[in-house]
């Protein structure tokens, strides 16, 4: 079995071997190479101790990124390559790092501490593939299976529960029965895991191709990390527009949008406000009038708990607030939205509404999609035409108004906004002379 190592990977392995140590590429890079996919990074495992790794690469730039845990990065062509000493891990009482690690001289110890069989293979050109846990066979059958006793492995580090789901979603693999049983049994242990670790795995899970399968089959695990979603489980919508409960609709909508973390997170939470906003009219029909606003507030809280950056949270919440907006292919209306939300968000809202419609019942689907297509075409026309919808595009600016005799910044801001609105509605042309002449009338206030 031969794996195509990159020049830098060969250099690292050769260097450590020529110093008398063992060294192998290990983990994700071996798994991905065997799947015929170019690895996005290469990790190495070695019999050399951290100090010995540093001396072996004394002529290279290195970085201590976790020497206590045995890891040194060697920087080649500006890229870090992680090299870790063979390790046996102790317990994980803080659920973040092993409490104690002891270094080992045996590759087999290092492979035994790894999470899943497909991630527990090592390779170098001298020894070929080292596969002590039938990882290659599991890779061939598309199976995620714990190395060792699943229950014990999840008790050591409960994050592995979410990692199993992440790999199932991204690789499109099934989860072996005993591993799956242990996941369900021990899922509550995820409560003890640091939010940042949950966040990183969750975002990757959401961007997986088989995200819908995982979110549906393991919703009991999702309920542990995102208990606010529980209200959507089996919540029937009683609406002609829907043939799925809120959670199943949500899952379908996640799958319908491209695998971008911002868009996938937005879809995951876009209807989370529905259960709390339901009203029933005299005919027995259900409405969810405030659900975007309620949902955005709930989502902000969840994303803060998961330690996502503020910009990301603001973007998701704004998209959720506007996800149900009724757009029409009307230039004035769309320019008002472009002014409010900007070009990028409007294009995202198009994708979001499309994913949403495709996850609804077929009732009026063609009409909804036709309208949305016309909205998008009109948006593109406006953007390409260069017609004015924001201050940056207005034919006058603050300096022009100062020149005219305006003095106060607040009044200048107000007048620019008035001019922009009048240009958008077509009451004024976007021409300097006409705008200044209108502004002249407001000069007294200045
Ligand atoms: P990716 O291609 O997504 O980076 P990966 O398999 O390289 O996948 P990493 O999170 O980078 O995933 O981890 C590198 C390797 O370290 C894994 O392949 C696995 O062998 C091991 N590993 C990582 N996290 C754990 C863990 N919590 N428990 C046990 N082994 C782990
Ligand atoms: Mg990796």
Higher pLDDT, 240 or 48: 48
Question: How many other CB atoms are there within 10 angstroms of residue 38's CB atom?
Answer: 9
The predicted pLDDT at position 283 comes to 85
* Percent of the chain at pLDDT exceeding 90: 92
Considering every ligand atom shown, identify the ligand nearest to the alpha carbon of residue 31 and give its number: 1
Statement: the pTM of the whole predicted model exceeds 0.85: yes
Considering every ligand atom shown, identify the ligand nearest to the alpha carbon of residue 167 and give its number: 1
- Residue 48 pLDDT class (50, 70, 90 cuts): very high
Quick one: which atom of ligand 1 is closest to the CA of 114?
30
pLDDT at residue 336 greater than cutoff 80: yes
The Å distance, Cα 68 to ligand 2 centre, comes to 19
For residue 28 and ligand 1, the question of a CB distance below 6 A is answered with yes
In degrees to the nearest 10, what's the CA dihedral of 43, 46, 48, 52?
-20
For residue 115 and ligand 1, the question of a CB distance below 6 A is answered with yes
The predicted pLDDT at position 337 comes to 98
Q: Which of 420, 425, 327, 422 is nearest to 369 (CA)?
A: 327
- Residues near ion ligand 2 (CB < 5 Å) are 28
Q: What six digits make up the tokens of 16?
A: 């450590």
For residue 315 and ligand 1, the question of a CB distance below 6 A is answered with no
For residue 114 and ligand 1, the question of a CB distance below 6 A is answered with yes
Is 320 exposed, middle or buried (CB count within 10 Å of its CB: 0-12, 13-18, 19+)?
A: buried
132-178 pLDDT tens trace: 999 999 999 999 999 999 999 999 999 999 999 999 999 999 999 99
- Residue 422 pLDDT class (50, 70, 90 cuts): very high
The predicted pLDDT at position 101 comes to 82
For residue 153 and ligand 1, the question of a CB distance below 6 A is answered with no
Pocket test for ligand 1, best of 119, 149, 161 (most atoms within 8 A of CB): 119
- Residue 96 pLDDT class (50, 70, 90 cuts): low
The predicted pLDDT at position 100 comes to 76
Residue whose CA is at the smallest distance from ligand 1 atom 8: 28
The Å distance, Cα 150 to ligand 1 centre, comes to 16
Q: Which residues pair with 205 in a beta bridge?
A: none
Quick one: which atom of ligand 1 is closest to the CA of 157?
27
The predicted pLDDT at position 407 comes to 87
- Residue 212 pLDDT class (50, 70, 90 cuts): very high
Question: Nearest-5° angle of CA 148, CA 151, CA 152?
Answer: 65
Considering every ligand atom shown, identify the ligand nearest to the alpha carbon of residue 163 and give its number: 1
Which residue's structure tokens are 């050591």? 156
Pocket test for ligand 1, best of 33, 101, 115, 196 (most atoms within 8 A of CB): 115
**Lowest mean pLDDT across 35-39, 82-86, 414-418, 440-444:** 440-444
Higher pLDDT, 408 or 417: 417
What is the overall mean pLDDT for the chain? 96
Question: How many other CB atoms are there within 10 angstroms of residue 335's CB atom?
Answer: 23
The Å distance, Cα 332 to ligand 2 centre, comes to 49
Cα 144 from Cα 165, distance rounded (Å): 9
The predicted pLDDT at position 204 comes to 98
Cα 92 from Cα 263, distance rounded (Å): 33
For residue 119 and ligand 1, the question of a CB distance below 6 A is answered with yes
Quick one: which atom of ligand 1 is closest to the CA of 29?
7
Cα 124 from Cα 436, distance rounded (Å): 73
Mean pLDDT of 376-395: 97
Residue whose CA is at the smallest distance from ligand 1 atom 16: 27
Mean pLDDT of 415-434: 97
Mean pLDDT of 255-268: 98
Cα 286 from Cα 276, distance rounded (Å): 12
Mean pLDDT of 358-384: 98
Mean pLDDT of 122-135: 98
Cα 63 from Cα 78, distance rounded (Å): 12
For residue 160 and ligand 1, the question of a CB distance below 6 A is answered with yes
For residue 157 and ligand 1, the question of a CB distance below 6 A is answered with yes
Q: What string of DSSP letters covers 89-114?
A: E---TTSSS-S-EEE-S-HHHHHHTS
- Residue 72 pLDDT class (50, 70, 90 cuts): very high
What separation, in Å, do the N-terminal and C-terminal C-alpha atoms of the chain show? 80
For residue 182 and ligand 1, the question of a CB distance below 6 A is answered with no
For residue 43 and ligand 1, the question of a CB distance below 6 A is answered with yes
For residue 148 and ligand 1, the question of a CB distance below 6 A is answered with no
For residue 98 and ligand 1, the question of a CB distance below 6 A is answered with no
The Å distance, Cα 315 to ligand 1 centre, comes to 30
Cα 321 from Cα 314, distance rounded (Å): 10
The Å distance, Cα 42 to ligand 2 centre, comes to 7
275-321 pLDDT tens trace: 999 999 888 888 999 999 999 999 999 999 999 999 999 999 999 99
In degrees to the nearest 10, what's the CA dihedral of 158, 159, 165, 166?
-170
Residue whose CA is at the smallest distance from ligand 1 atom 6: 28
Considering every ligand atom shown, identify the ligand nearest to the alpha carbon of residue 30 and give its number: 1
- Residue 442 pLDDT class (50, 70, 90 cuts): confident
The predicted pLDDT at position 91 comes to 66
Which residue's structure tokens are 């043939």? 243
pLDDT at residue 445 greater than cutoff 60: no
């Amino acid at each position: 079995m031969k794996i195509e190592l990159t020049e830098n990977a060969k250099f690292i392995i050769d260097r450590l071997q020529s110093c008398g140590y063992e060294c192998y590429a290990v983990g994700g890079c071996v798994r991905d190479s065997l799947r015929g996919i170019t690895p996005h990074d290469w990790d190495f495992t070695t019999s050399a101790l951290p100090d010995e790794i540093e001396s072996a690469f004394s002529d290279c730039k290195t970085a201590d990124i976790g020497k206590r845990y045995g890891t040194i990065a060697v920087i080649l062509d500006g890229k870090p390559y992680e090299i870790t000493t063979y390790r046996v891990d102790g317990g994980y009482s803080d659920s973040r790092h092993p409490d104690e690690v002891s270094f080992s001289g045996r590759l087999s110890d290092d492979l035994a501490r790894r999470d899943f069989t497909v991630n527990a293979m090592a390779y170098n050109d001298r020894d070929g593939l080292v596969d002590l846990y039938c990882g290659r066979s599991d890779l061939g059958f598309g199976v995620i299976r714990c190395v060792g006793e699943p229950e014990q492995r999840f008790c050591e580090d409960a994050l592995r529960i979410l990692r199993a789901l992440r790999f199932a979603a991204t690789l499109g693999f099934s989860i072996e029965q005993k591993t799956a049983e242990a996941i369900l049994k021990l899922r509550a242990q995820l409560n003890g895991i640091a939010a940042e670790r949950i966040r990183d795995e969750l975002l990757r899970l959401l961007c997986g191709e088989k995200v819908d399968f995982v979110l549906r089959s393991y919703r009991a695990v999702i309920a542990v990390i995102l208990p606010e979603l529980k209200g959507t489980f089996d919540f029937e919508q009683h609406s002609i527009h829907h043939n799925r409960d809120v959670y199943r609709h949500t899952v379908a909508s996640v799958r319908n949008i491209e695998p971008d973390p911002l868009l996938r997170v937005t879809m995951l939470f876009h209807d989370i406000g529905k259960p709390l906003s339901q009203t029933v009219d005299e005919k027995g029909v259900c409405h969810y009038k405030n659900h975007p606003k309620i949902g955005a507030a709930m989502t902000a809280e969840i994303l803060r708990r998961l330690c996502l950056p503020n910009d990301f949270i603001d973007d998701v919440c704004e998209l959720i607030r506007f996800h149900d907006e009724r757009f029409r292919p009307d230039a004035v209306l769309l320019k008002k939205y472009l002014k409010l939300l900007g070009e990028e968000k409007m294009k995202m809202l198009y994708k979001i509404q499309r994913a949403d419609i495709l996850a609804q019942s077929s009732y009026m689907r063609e009409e909804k999609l036709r309208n949305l297509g016309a909205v998008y075409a009109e948006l593109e026309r406006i953007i390409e035409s260069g017609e004015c919808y924001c201050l940056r595009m207005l034919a006058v600016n603050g300096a022009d108004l100062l020149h005219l005799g305006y003095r106060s910044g607040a009044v200048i801001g107000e007048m620019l906004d008035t001019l922009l609105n009048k240009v958008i509605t077509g009451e004024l042309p976007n021409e300097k002379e006409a705008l200044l002449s209108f502004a002249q009338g407001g000069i007294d206030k200045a």
